[in-house]
Amino acid sequence: MADKNTPREEEEKYIQQQEREKLARLRREKQLEAIRQEEREAIAATLNTRDEVAAEAMELGFDAETARVLPLIPMIQMAWADGSISSAENDKVQELARRFGIADESAAGTFLKMLLEEQPTDLFFSRANAVIANLIDEDPNGEMGQNVMDWSKAVAAASGGFFGLTNPISKEESALLDDFARLFGVQS
């Protein structure tokens, strides 16, 4: 005949099981936090920035590899300024990405391609640009802000005016350049 556990023994087994599950959850949470911390540190190293700035980049979906795309976000936003990206604008952003050492087939290159194929939200651009503003503030040479402006202008001018007869930078692009100048604290 099989042993039957008393209600007290069943309760003890249940409590022990709950404790084991709780410990397993705590272990998983600690492991995940360690992984997140390691990723934040890797992003901070990639961007040469503080942990808080890296944490914000991570919340936006960047990792240590794709964080290399972050300085290109204003150029991507500029390319999307009129609601679509011309092949000339796409080519200019890709050219800038290659200057940053972003290979087409890398994780960063794939992430960049996604941002060029599907327009990110205004909230994404706003939060990413706030991270970039922090990076510009931390730039020891003070060149990053002006570089971002120059590169954004190059993307804006990439499609050019109508047979060179009109201003190559649209009204939307010009307004966005003014926004960047204010946000990044540089001349437009």
pLDDT digits (tens, 9 = 90+) for 56-80: 999 999 999 999 999 999 999 999 9
pLDDT at 163: 47
Closest residue by Cα to residue 126 from 177, 71, 74: 74
131-144 average pLDDT score: 88
Burial class (CB in 10 A: 0-12, 13-18, 19+), 115: buried
Query: Tokens in use for 82?
Result: 């009129």
Q: In residues, how long is the chain?
A: 188
115-122 average pLDDT score: 96
Q: Which of 108-122, 136-150, 154-168 has the lowest mean pLDDT?
A: 154-168
